[in-house]
Amino acid sequence: MRQIEHIKESGGWLNRYTHDSACCHCEMTFSVYLPPAASTRKVPALYFLSGLTCTDDNVRVKAGAQRYAAALGIALVMPDTSPRGEGVADDPDRYDLGQGAGFYINATCEPWASHYQMYDYVTRELPALVEAELPLIPGLKSITGHSMGGHGALICAFKNPGAYQSVSAFAPICNPVNCGWGEGCLSAYLGDDREAWNAWDATALVKAGAKPLPLLIDQGTGDEFLAEQLHPRALVDACLERNIPIQFRMQEDYDHSYHFIASFIGEHLAFHARHLQSD
């Protein structure tokens, strides 16, 4: 991998890298924040999956996570939201399909399937790469995300029991098979067989027997996408039905933006830190 930025922040280093992805068959960009502790020992990692239209850059400039990660001795791994580049399929007229909207799934339909393998990328290729090249404790990781990235965090955790110590999400898309954003991407990337979509839906995964792990979700009541796209009630009901513990908090008046994320990112970092102790 190639380092393309190296910026000192809160005593640690905010680095940006590119590499040739074997999963996505294109050059991928990601950022990693290494806390001050990483200069003397290996540290655990928290992956942050971003939402529609984002790159790795939005969270690192808008969420204010680095100062908490510095204090807690946790690295932040911030991937892009899709494969990108000239040879990569896209729908330039839509912000919610194609580049910037990979949905953290493995596409099976062309023209998407040859590059849109974001699930394998964030759960396997990227962890193997950063754990080999950076001072990270192999296998000690948790995951969080926002909106489409909250959906991504939930499915990565539910589909990989034991791989993540904890999972959290900000305004996640909880039941993508039943909302416009999800239906648009899942039908394009996976085809019309709605049964196949359930393997990529947090609510369906819980209903199908996902194993519990520490789980925190924050959702703003003033979120402009809450009614149409996010459906947290479906996930909470599924968790209640299956006796899966979930800490679900409605946060009054907060919208869908990074102002909401910035308001609670410190609590999410502290939540994950409790589950990322190495001794």
Which of 56, 223, 231, 272 is labelled catalytic?
Answer: 223
The reply on whether position 170 binds ligand GSH by CB under 6 A is no
Q: Of 66, 46, 76, 212, nearest to 141 (Cα)?
A: 46
C-alpha to C-alpha distance for 272 and 277, rounded to whole angstroms:
9
Which of 37, 49, 52, 236 lies at the binding interface for ligand GSH (CB under 6 A)? 52
The reply on whether position 95 binds ligand GSH by CB under 6 A is yes
Neighbours of 176 (CB within 10 A): 29
Report, in Å, the least distance between residue 257 CB and ligand GSH.
Answer: 5
Report, in Å, the least distance between residue 279 CB and ligand GSH.
Answer: 36
Report, in Å, the least distance between residue 172 CB and ligand GSH.
Answer: 10
Q: Beta partners for 141?
A: 45
Of the candidate spans 51-59, 155-163, 183-191, 232-240, the one that interacts with ligand GSH by CB under 6 A turns out to be 51-59
Give, in degrees to the nearest 5, the angle at Cα 145 between 107 and 256.
105
For ligand GSH, the closer of residues 37 and 189 by Cβ is 189
C-alpha to C-alpha distance for 37 and 39, rounded to whole angstroms:
5
The reply on whether position 58 binds ligand GSH by CB under 6 A is yes
C-alpha to C-alpha distance for 247 and 219, rounded to whole angstroms:
11
Which pair of tokens denotes residue 62?
A: 């808008």
Length of the chain: 279
- Residue by residue, DSSP assigns 4-67 as EEEEEETTEEEEEEEEEETTTTEEEEEEEEEPGGGGTS-EEEEEEE--TT--THHHHHHS--HH
The reply on whether position 256 binds ligand GSH by CB under 6 A is yes
Which of 115, 151, 231, 256 is labelled catalytic?
Answer: 256
For ligand GSH, the closer of residues 12 and 51 by Cβ is 51
- 268 classed as catalytic: no
Q: At a CB cut-off of 8 Å and minimum separation 6, what does 172 contact?
A: 145, 146, 147, 149, 150, 151, 153, 154, 202, 217, 230, 232, 235
Report, in Å, the least distance between residue 93 CB and ligand GSH.
Answer: 12
- 256 classed as catalytic: yes
C-alpha to C-alpha distance for 70 and 47, rounded to whole angstroms:
15
The reply on whether position 198 binds ligand GSH by CB under 6 A is no
Report, in Å, the least distance between residue 165 CB and ligand GSH.
Answer: 25
Give the H/E segment covering residue 247: strand 247-251
Half-sphere exposure of 95 (CA within 13 A, CB side): 6
Site for ligand GSH in 130-149 (CB under 6 A): 146-148
The reply on whether position 257 binds ligand GSH by CB under 6 A is yes
User: Minimal CB distance to ligand GSH: which residue?
Assistant: 51
Report, in Å, the least distance between residue 256 CB and ligand GSH.
Answer: 6
- 25 classed as catalytic: no
Which of 10, 15, 53, 263 lies at the binding interface for ligand GSH (CB under 6 A)? 53
For ligand GSH, the closer of residues 142 and 147 by Cβ is 147
Question: Among all residues, which ones are annotated catalytic?
Answer: 147, 223, 256
Instruction: Note the residues at the interface with ligand GSH (CB under 6 A).
Output: 51-54, 58, 62, 95, 146-148, 256-258
